[in-house]
Structure 1
Amino acid sequence: MPFSSPGPRAVRQTAGAFGAVALIALCAAPAVAADVPATALALGTIAPFDKVKPGSELPLSPTFADTGTATLDKVWLSYSLTHGLGRTAVPSNCLSYAVGSTDEEPGHTQVVCEFDQPVRPGVVYAPERPLALKALDRALYEHVQVAVGSSAPAPDDGASTPAHGTAAVVKLVERTGETAPPAGAASSTDVAVNAVNTADFQVGGARLKGKAGDTVTLRVRFANAGPAWVLPQPGQRAAHVLVTLPEGTSAVRTDALCENTGAESYACGTGAPWVNEHESRTYTFKVKLDKAVPGARGYVEIGPETRPFDHVGKNDTARVTLSVTGGTDTTGGGSTGDGGSKGGDGTGGTGSTTPTGGTGTDGGTTTTGGTTGTTSGTTGGLSTGGSGTTGGSLASTGAGPALPLAGAAAVAVVVGAGAVVAARRRGGRRD
C-alpha cells in the first residue's frame, strides 16, 4: 500500500538541520545536506516462513530505521495479509480491516499500527511484541506485505470499516547492537509464507443424449475440493480447463469463459487467477448432435499447470459421452482408467446431463456421493489427505464465487492448448 509524503508535524527539526537551512540560504550548504534526505524510513530484512503447518502461529517482528538526518515524531507499520492468514491478537494502537477482491487481486486483511513516539536517525527499532499471525486451514502460498511510513496509509477502495484491536498497546523498542539498513533501502517488503497443505482440483464430465440434429445443453464442472486455496505467482493463473467435444457434435454456443482452440476443443478459464477453497464453476455449452459416431467421446481435463499441492490425480480428467437415437450408443466400456466422472441420464429427448457426483466411472453407473480420492502420508507432520467435501467438490450444485472475466482474458495463459485437446479429440476412438 503506498504511503503519502510525511506531513510537516511528522518531522522534528534539529538545530543542525536548521543550521543547514541557513547555510543553504547563504549558498554555503555542506554537501551532506544536499545528499542525505531529512527522513528516509527503511525496513530490515525479514526471513520467509517455510513449511508452516495450518493452525500454527507466526510471530512477525520487523525492524526498521530512519536513515535520514531528522527525528520523526510518529511512524506507522502496516501489514497486508493474504486469504490464508489471520491474526490472533491485535494491539489497541492498531486498526484492522478487510479489503474485498477485484478482478485481478484477491481479497486481503490489513493491519495498521500507529507508534506515537520519536524515531531518531540511525537507530534500529522494532515492536516490543511480535504481531501474532496464524496460518489458517486454507493456507498454502501466502504473503505478508510489510511497510513502514511516516504518515497513516489510507484504506484501499472496498475496505470494511476499520476496527481497533483489543490487546494491550504495543510500543517500539530500540534494537541496540543491530546495524541500521543502508540508505536507500526499501520501506516495504513482501514476506512469503509457504504452508504444508493440499488442494484437490477436479473435473466432472457429462452424457450427451438425443436425436441426430438436436441441440442439447452440455454442463461440465471444475472444482477445488480444498482444503487450501491456491494463489499463483504474479502473472500466472492457478488453473484452466480443457473441454473437447465428442466427434459428431459441434458447439452452437460456448461458455463465456471458454475460447475455441481448434476443431471442437476449448480452453476455459476459472474466472480469476487464483482459486478459492471449496469453489466450483460450471461451464455451459449448447451442442448440436450432428450424427452418431461409433466410439466417439469427449474429454474434460485440467490444464497442464504444475500442481505440486494436488495429490489426487484420478479426478483430473472426465469423459463426455454420446448417445444418439438411431445411431450407436457410445456410453459403454467401463472405467476410463484416468478417473473420468460422469453424470446421470438427461431429462427429455434432447436434454443432456449435469455431473452430479464425484469421481466415478462411465460404464453406466453414476456416483452421487461427491467424495474424491484420498491420499495418505505426512509432510512435515501434516497429513496430506485429500478427502472430498460437499461445499466445493463435484457433488455440489451451482456455480462458485469466482469473479467472471472476459473469456479471452481468462485463457490468455493457455499455450499450445489447441494442439493438446485437438489430439485428444482425434484420438478419442482409440481409448
Structure 2
Amino acid sequence: MSLSPHRAVRTTVAVLGAAGLIALGSTPTAFADQTAPDLALGDIAPVDGVKPGSTFDRPVVVANNGTASADKVWVQYSVTRGLDYAEVPSNCRTHQVPSYDEMTAKSNVVCAFDQELEPGKAYTPATPLAFKALDNALNDVLRVSVWDIDPPLDDAATPPVAGTAAAVKLVESQAGGKASEEAVDVPVTAVNTADWQVRGADLEGAVGDVVTLKVKFTNAGPAWVLTDEGDPVRKVLITPPAGTSVVKSDGFCDAEDGTYVCGTNQRWVNEGEGGLYTFQLKIDKQVEGAKGSVELGSADRPFDPEKGNDRDDITLDVKSAGSTGGTGDGSTGSGTAGSGTAGSGSDSAGGNQPAARSGELAETGSTPAAAVGTAAAAMVAVGGALLVRRRGTLARG
C-alpha cells in the first residue's frame, strides 16, 4: 500500500530526526522498531440500478493494520453531481468543490471520529452514511478515503458546514476481507436516460460569399453523462454542403475525408447543456439541392433511446450574384433535433468549447464592405452627401 501524503510527511520527519541525532553522535536505540498506526479501507461493493429520488448506503470498514493505536481518524466521502447526502451527522462537515480543469464538481463530507482505533482491529460507523440519487443521476462515483489528519480543503472549496443529524461513532467490525486501500472509488449507476440531440442550420448567400455555420449539440437530459477517465464524452460529425469550402473550422474539430469530427476536452456533459460548433464556409459554386449534415457519432449510447434527433440537415440556398450572404445559427434546422433545448453558445459540458468565433470574417470572399462601397457610389451619383462610418471589427460571437 502506497503512503498517503500525510503519512509520507510523518515518515520523512521521523527519518530526518533520526539523521540529526546520528549526526550528533546519539543514535536512538528504539529507532529500528518504532511503532505507528496504519489505517486502511476494506472493499466497497458497487451500487447498480438505483432509481432517481431513492436513497442507499454502503458499509465502510476502517482497519488499523499498524502496530500502534490511532487516537483519531477522519473518513471523507466524495460524490459526483448526480448524488447527494440524505442527512449528515453532527460530527461531519460538508463542503462543495466546483468543476475546474479536468475535475468534475464534487460534494464532500468529512467525518471526524475522536476515538481510539486499536492495532489489528477493524471498525465501521454504527450507522452508515446515507446517500440519495438525484433526478440527473446516471453514471456517478462515490469515493471514500481514510485519513489520520483532517483532510486539507481544495483551494476552490466552499466553507465547511457541520451536519445536523445525531453524531455517529465507530464500532468494532467483524467483517472479513482485506483492508489495504487508503481510498476506494465506488461506481454508482442509476436507472435513467439522457437525450442527446443535434441541430443543423439553413444557410444562404451568393457565390463568393463567406457565411457562418453554427451547429449545436445538446444533452436534453434528464441525466448528466460522465464517461470513464480518458474516454471522449461525444463525437459530433459535421459535413458541409457540396459547393462550399471551409475557410475556418471550429477548434474542437478535425477534418476526416470531407467530414469534420468534433469533440470536447472534458469527459462529461451536464443535463440541459451542450456545445456550439462554428465554421466559416465559402460558397464556391452553386450545386442544386446541396445539403450537408450534422450527426452524432456511432458510439453506443445505451442511455439515449431517442434516436430521431441524432441527425439534422445543413441546407444551402445560393442566391443570385450581388445578394448578401447570410449565416446559419442552428435556429431553423429541418430535422427533429430542432425541437430540443439549444446550446447557449458555450460548452458547459466541455468547459472550454470555443463557441464565440462566429463573428470573424475570412480574408477571402465577399464581405459587407463591398455593399457599403456600392451604396456610397450610388449616393454620389445622385448628388447626395457621402456618409462615412467607421466600421468596427466584428467581435467574436
* TM interval, short-chain normalised: 0.7 to 0.9
1:109-124 maps to which residues of 2 (within 5 A)? 109-124=107-122
2:197·2:309 contact (CA, 8 Å) conserved in 1? yes
Within 1, Cα distance between the matches of 2:122 and 2:30?
34
Within 2, Cα distance between the matches of 1:109 and 1:172?
23
Amino acid at match of 1:206: A
Aligned position for 2:372: none
Aligned position for 1:45: 43
Aligned position for 1:399: 346
Aligned position for 2:280: 286
Partner of 1:4, secondary structure, is helix
Structure 1 spans left out of the alignment, 5+ residues: 9-23, 328-347, 362-366, 372-392, 408-431
Within 2, Cα distance between the matches of 1:283 and 1:62?
45
- Of 294, 316, 320 in structure 1, the residue corresponding to residue 314 of structure 2 is 320
Amino acid at match of 1:213: G
- Of 143, 150, 153 in structure 1, the residue corresponding to residue 151 of structure 2 is 153
- Of 210, 216, 220 in structure 2, the residue corresponding to residue 221 of structure 1 is 216
- Of 141, 144, 147 in structure 2, the residue corresponding to residue 143 of structure 1 is 141
Amino acid at match of 2:348: P
Distance 1:41 1:27, change over 3 A: closer
CA deviations 1:78-125 (Å, max 9, x no partner) are 011011000121111111111111231111111110000000012211
Within 1, Cα distance between the matches of 2:31 and 2:82?
56
- Of 330, 335, 340 in structure 2, the residue corresponding to residue 360 of structure 1 is 335
2:48·2:188 contact (CA, 8 Å) conserved in 1? yes
Within 2, Cα distance between the matches of 1:278 and 1:5?
43
Aligned position for 2:360: none
Deviation of 1:359 after TM superposition, in Å, equals 7.4
> Aligned-residue CA RMSD in angstroms?
2.6
Deviation of 1:178 after TM superposition, in Å, equals 2.9
Partner of 2:346, secondary structure, is coil
CA deviations 1:188-242 (Å, max 9, x no partner) are 1111101111001110011111111111111111000000000001110221211
1:181 and 2:178 matched = yes
- Of 326, 337, 343 in structure 2, the residue corresponding to residue 351 of structure 1 is 326
1:382-393 maps to which residues of 2 (within 5 A)? 393=341
1:225-264 maps to which residues of 2 (within 5 A)? 225-263=220-258
1:17-32 maps to which residues of 2 (within 5 A)? none
Deviation of 1:71 after TM superposition, in Å, equals 0.4
Deviates more, 1:351-360 or 1:250-259: 351-360
Within 2, Cα distance between the matches of 1:359 and 1:248?
20
Within 1, Cα distance between the matches of 2:144 and 2:212?
49
1:103·1:403 contact (CA, 8 Å) conserved in 2? no
Larger gyration radius, structure 1 or structure 2: 2
Among all aligned residue pairs of Structure 1 and Structure 2, give the percentage whose two residues are the same amino acid.
Answer: 45
Within 2, Cα distance between the matches of 1:83 and 1:257?
25
Within 1, Cα distance between the matches of 2:151 and 2:31?
37
Distance 1:272 1:326, change over 3 A: same
TM-score (norm 1): 0.72
Distance 1:75 1:99, change over 3 A: same
Deviation of 1:180 after TM superposition, in Å, equals 6.4
Within 1, Cα distance between the matches of 2:209 and 2:334?
29
1:4 and 2:12 matched = no
Within 2, Cα distance between the matches of 1:149 and 1:209?
62
2:210·2:282 contact (CA, 8 Å) conserved in 1? yes
Aligned position for 2:260: 266
1:3·1:152 contact (CA, 8 Å) conserved in 2? no
Aligned position for 2:167: 169
Distance 1:73 1:351, change over 3 A: same
Distance 1:323 1:55, change over 3 A: same
2:201·2:332 contact (CA, 8 Å) conserved in 1? no
Distance 1:51 1:294, change over 3 A: same
Deviation of 1:50 after TM superposition, in Å, equals 0.5
Partner of 1:71, secondary structure, is coil
CA deviations 1:404-429 (Å, max 9, x no partner) are 4488xxxxxxxxxxxxxxxxxxxxxx
Number of aligned residues: 335
Aligned position for 1:129: 127
TM-score (norm 2): 0.78
Within 2, Cα distance between the matches of 1:290 and 1:230?
40
CA deviations 1:376-424 (Å, max 9, x no partner) are xxxxxxxxxxxxxxxxx23x654352344488xxxxxxxxxxxxxxxxx
Structure 2 spans left out of the alignment, 5+ residues: 11-26, 355-397
Deviation of 1:354 after TM superposition, in Å, equals 2.0
Within 1, Cα distance between the matches of 2:326 and 2:130?
54
Deviates more, 1:317-326 or 1:109-118: 317-326
Within 2, Cα distance between the matches of 1:256 and 1:195?
34
1:73 and 2:48 matched = no
Within 1, Cα distance between the matches of 2:44 and 2:50?
16
Amino acid at match of 1:278: G
Deviation of 1:349 after TM superposition, in Å, equals 3.1
Amino acid at match of 1:4: H
Deviation of 1:357 after TM superposition, in Å, equals 6.0
Aligned position for 1:307: 301
Within 2, Cα distance between the matches of 1:48 and 1:152?
26
Amino acid at match of 2:68: A
Within 2, Cα distance between the matches of 1:88 and 1:287?
52
